Amino acid sequence: MMPILDIHAHYGVWQFPTQARNVDALDTYLQRFGIEKACFSSVEALTCNFVSGNARLFKDIEGHDRFLGYCTVNPNYVDESIAEMKKYMSKSRCFGLKVHSGYSQRPVNSAPMREILNASRRYGKPVLAHTWSPTDCAAIAEAAAEFATLKFIMGHMGGNDWRPALEAVEEILNVFLDPCCSYAERDKIREALDAVGPKRVVFGSDLMLLNPAFVAGMVVGSDLPERDKERILYTNAKEAFGL
């Protein structure tokens, strides 16, 4: 199994039965699945309090070389989000900005989110945006066109309804596709590459929701040349984001 750079992982508690709850347990998973580095957002920050969630994440991953963190923001709290970015975005341990339109109920092209994105430009770090519908995909396409200097990662590639995601960002070169999802439709990886080329699809595991091997299985099982699989699992994230 080739090494992996994972740009989409979660730290904290999800409400399902699992044995892994802390950094050490997660580190064991990263090693088992050959993940060289993984970028985590705080579950607490996404689902509840983004300030305390960010604080716990960056405290707990300190000193763990495989772990990087996302600064999660909430567009319902613009000033506080900008303050969070000031706290974390310049840290070497901070990989980028995480936004989730589902939990915040604010699309990535909404006015408060655009204010946050505008403020984030100074940090030059990628934005991982959750997408789970064609509407989410259209929103990220619009935001990426407006903030052309930012690199956006389309988390879940639209979810179960993923084809509109490909159409939405085919021509928008600052959007990268992250296909992790419970729905492992065969051919979706090939179709993603057909749409955006081999350099704009990156690997996210969605750990601790999903098993990295489940998502890697989509890449390994895809009908693609080995060099393209390696690009998705590793090289693209290294080249695009300097991981």
**Interface segment toward another protein; rule CB under 8 A; list 87-95, 106-114, 131-139, 202-210:** 202-210
CB nearer to another protein: pick between 32 and 121: 32
Helix (H), strand (E), coil (C) string for 76-138: CCHHHHHHHHHHHCCCCCEEEEEECHHHHCCCCCCHHHHHHHHHHHHHCCCEEEECCCHHHHH
With CA atoms as reference, report the closest residue to 171 among 152, 145, 149: 145
206 Cβ neighbours under 8 A, 6+ residues apart: 8, 9, 10, 156, 180, 181, 215
- Decide if residue 15 touches another protein (CB under 8 A): yes
Query: Which of 13, 14, 22, 31 lies at the binding interface for another protein (CB under 8 A)?
Result: 14
- Decide if residue 76 touches another protein (CB under 8 A): no
- Decide if residue 92 touches another protein (CB under 8 A): no
Query: Which of 148, 221, 225, 239 lies at the binding interface for another protein (CB under 8 A)?
Result: 221
Instruction: Report the SS3 class of residue 177.
Output: strand
**Interface segment toward another protein; rule CB under 8 A; list 75-83, 130-138, 147-155, 203-211:** 203-211
- Taking residues 177 to 196 in sequence order and writing x for each that binds another protein by CB under 8 A, - otherwise, the string is -----xxxxxx---------
Closest approach of another protein to the CB of residue 106, in Å: 24
- Decide if residue 41 touches another protein (CB under 8 A): no
- Decide if residue 32 touches another protein (CB under 8 A): yes
Closest approach of another protein to the CB of residue 160, in Å: 10
Closest approach of another protein to the CB of residue 170, in Å: 17
Closest approach of another protein to the CB of residue 29, in Å: 6
Closest approach of another protein to the CB of residue 199, in Å: 22
Q: Look up residue 119 and give its two tokens.
A: 């403020």
CA dist 124 and 151 (Å) reads 8
Q: Look up residue 127 and give its two tokens.
A: 């934005």
- Decide if residue 133 touches another protein (CB under 8 A): no
With CA atoms as reference, report the closest residue to 187 among 214, 143, 212, 219: 219
CB burial readout 190-216, b (16+ within 10 A) else e:
ebbbebbebbbbbbbbbbbebebeebb
Residues at the interface with another protein (CB under 8 A): 14-20, 29, 32-33, 163, 182-187, 207-218, 220-222
